[in-house]
Chain A
Amino acid sequence: MYIYDEYDQRIVEDRAKQFRDQVRRYLAGEFSEAEFLPLRLQNGLYIQRYAPMLRIAVPYGVLSSERLRKLAHIARHYDKGFAHITTRQNIHFNWPNLEDVPDILEELASVQMHAIQTSGNCIRNTTTDQFAGIAADELIDPRPWCEIVRQWSTFHPEFAFLPRKFKIAINGAEEDRAAIGIHDIGLNAVRNDAGELGFQVLVGGGLGRTPMVGAEIRAFLPWQHLLTYLEAILRVYNRYGRRDNKFKARIKILVKALTPAVFGEKVEAEWQNLKDGSATLTEAELQRVAKYFVTPELESFAGDDAGYLDKRSSDQGFDNWAMRNVHPHRAPGYAAVTLSLKPTAISPGDISDKQLDAAADLADDYSLGEIRSTHYQNLVLPYVRQKDLYEVWQKCRQMGFATPNIGLLTDIICCPGGDYCSLANAKSIPIAESIQRQFDDLDYLHDIGELELNISGCMNACGHHHVGHIGILGVDKKGQEFYQVSLGGKSGRDAAIGQILGPSFAADQMPTVVQKLIDVYVQNRTPEERFIDTFERIGMAPYKERVYAANH
């Protein structure tokens, strides 16, 4: 994990101080709500339906037991005992008081955390693979690169007032678990023929009203030029991105209007002026940052732990959990474990203060103090010995982390929706719950297999519904809450935007609708096909037919 030095520390402390003064001036009536808005947003502070909402940055999802305990403390003292993991690996608090936020930021600064640029029209938290540094299919560890981008983007003076928010994701593995295709900039680590490291650069992905998959503007950017090239992209966007219409202001609209090729030329022309400037990365800086991410000393094991395998064959419950929530690790005898935050009837991604403390204990006792947040709104213990897994499972069961559903239908990605969010067209959490209840039979759930179901309460798409294999979007029909369903979305290497199934449904129809979609899949699948594969093979028609036929 990256450890702040005196410089990094000073910057977050200065920020906490600055924001304290801004809040003081706001409360003293020295500026209007409109002027306070961008200031509080750049600190992740929204004013929502019932209370402010504070978004805290978890840079590229890396947490520690110490940080979790601090978050638990904040949840207890400043919130109603809950935190929420978001689809961008960040943490939300839904009930802080505005007056307390400066204190919260100070508390965060004490564990090297902050809420800098977690909202507003600026460069947001850079996200990546939750299995960074442990996945077997990794070309490079993306975390040092994320940290380098974090530092470059933090208080970048030229890009604090972009046309719209800006999100960067970095992938360093074979598979793309960072969803780089749906980010404003997606960086994909590649090696050229000479074996040198660089990045493939995608630009213009994003969801929201006009969902788009990013287009490549450079096949290979040598790593030394990463920051100057990013600077060139951002400058072109800052100057030419639309500012007349908030809904057309994302970079994707500019890229589409110009075409990726022309946009790429503009970037290239700008970059010629910046290339080889002082922001060119050095081997020394890369080493300085990378040393915080070297794999810790692990015990050496010859292979899989025999006791673990025995337990799996003798204990069905444990095996179910191991099948879904335990992930392969680069180091023999080790595993990564996902703590499911998706038990039925709990808002997806919600975690209580007690659970935060318990997760911190698990991290300390079994995972070298490290823990990660994922864009699927769960937590991951990255360094668990296989021989400890049975014990970990038992503790997970006590703490409500053991729902064996990772990657399955009930591991739903869901935004806060109408229960919290003032932009919502419809509630989303109760829909997630009703679907989880419909599919509460574990064997059946496992039989359905891998499936991503994503729910957003409006077209802002915070729940990534466009890239769910099944996507659900809350819509407003004459003041009533309705839900539109899409199929075939994907967020990995071959990212795709889902296609709309047809007319929308009332809330109480949703479990049945999903059930019918699953029935069509189960009846048509070949043994090796996942839901998405069958859909791609047989197309929309059979699903449409089944769902709407029964409606008449």
Chain B
Amino acid sequence: MQQIIKGNQVVEDTWQLLPKDASIENLTNSGDIIVPLALWLEHAHALKARDGGLGVWLDADEEAESIIDDLQHFQVIALNFPVFSDGRNYSNARLLRDRYGYQGELRSIGDVLRDQLFFMHRCGFDAYALREDHDPHAALASLQDFSEVYQAATDQPLPLFRRR
């Protein structure tokens, strides 16, 4: 089982991340799963009827707007970084949190490296599945890289100029 950072701690991950081409056929009724967007869009009904926990994941080229009417069904939304330098999901994260009021777990997956954690946290992520070769314990320190920030973002509703 992979370890992830949740909040400020390293925890065992209980969720199963289904691949992009996952099909509805072999799903068990129990167990916590994070399904790709396409599966959700096609089989929302069946997925809602399961007993296990439900999450969805969006790839970098998928838009937050495609799930905003469904947010109440997800305990986890995972946003994928196909490469760490693809920054689209920072915007999706902020939209989900700031504009559409999503309150559940927002998890970064894929090419997630410690030096991006501070920015991710500011955009509303609260869970991070680091790339497997990275040590989540060492990475925790990077959540504290900066002790002050200029802009308003999800973690800090006021820009520095309204606080200084």
| Partner-B contacts on A (CB < 8 A) | 5, 7, 10-11, 14-15, 18, 22, 31, 35, 38-39, 121, 151-152, 154-162, 227, 235, 238-239, 243, 273, 277-279, 281-282, 284-285, 288
Contacts and interface: CB of A to CB of B under 8 A. Distances in A.
B3 to A, nearest CB: 18
B67 interface: no
B84 A38 contact: yes
Interface string B35-62: 0000000000000000000000000100
Contacts of A284: 161
A150 to B, nearest CB: 9
A152 B92 CA distance: 20
A233 B162 CA distance: 23
A156 B147 contact: no
A22 B161 contact: no
A239 B118 CA distance: 20
A151 B116 CA distance: 20
Contact of A11 (B116, B121, B150, B157): B150
Given A158-B122, A158-B123, A279-B152, 13 more contacts: A10-B147, A11-B146, A11-B150, A39-B115, A155-B146, A155-B149, A158-B91, A160-B90, A238-B88, A239-B92, A243-B88, A281-B161, A288-B161
A38 B85 contact: yes
B115 A278 contact: no
Contacts of A152: 150-151, 159
Leading 6 A-B pairs by shortest Cβ distance: A161-B87, A157-B122, A157-B119, A285-B161, A151-B150, A158-B90
A278 B162 contact: yes
18 contacts: A11-B149, A18-B146, A38-B85, A39-B115, A155-B149, A157-B120, A158-B90, A158-B122, A160-B87, A160-B90, A161-B85, A161-B87, A238-B88, A239-B88, A278-B152, A278-B162, A279-B151, A282-B161
Interface string B144-164: 011111111100011111101
Contacts of B122: 157-158
B113 interface: yes
Interface of B: 60, 63, 84-88, 90-92, 94, 99, 113, 115-116, 118-123, 145-153, 157-162, 164
A31 B138 CA distance: 13
B84 A161 contact: yes
Contacts, number: 101
A285 B150 CA distance: 13
A281 B159 CA distance: 10
Contact of B94 (A31, A35, A158): A158
Given A235-B91, A238-B90, A288-B161, A155 B150 contact: yes
Nearest to B122: A157
Contacts of A159: 87, 90
A125 to B, nearest CB: 15
A277 B145 contact: no
Contact of A243 (B86, B90, B145, B146): B86
Please indicate which of the listed interface residues A35, A239, A284 has the most CB atoms of chain B within 10 Å of its own CB.
A239
A162 B87 contact: yes
Contacts of B121: 157
Looking at B85, B121, B147, B160, the one whose CB has the most chain A CB atoms below 10 A away is B85
Contacts of A227: 159
A103 B120 CA distance: 28
A10 B160 CA distance: 13
Contacts of B120: 157
B76 to A, nearest CB: 21
A10 B162 contact: no
Contacts of A279: 151-152, 159
A35 B133 CA distance: 13
A155 B146 CA distance: 10
A112 B121 CA distance: 27
Contacts of A235: 91
Contacts of B86: 161, 243
A260 B24 CA distance: 43
A5 B164 contact: yes
A235 B146 CA distance: 23
B61 to A, nearest CB: 9
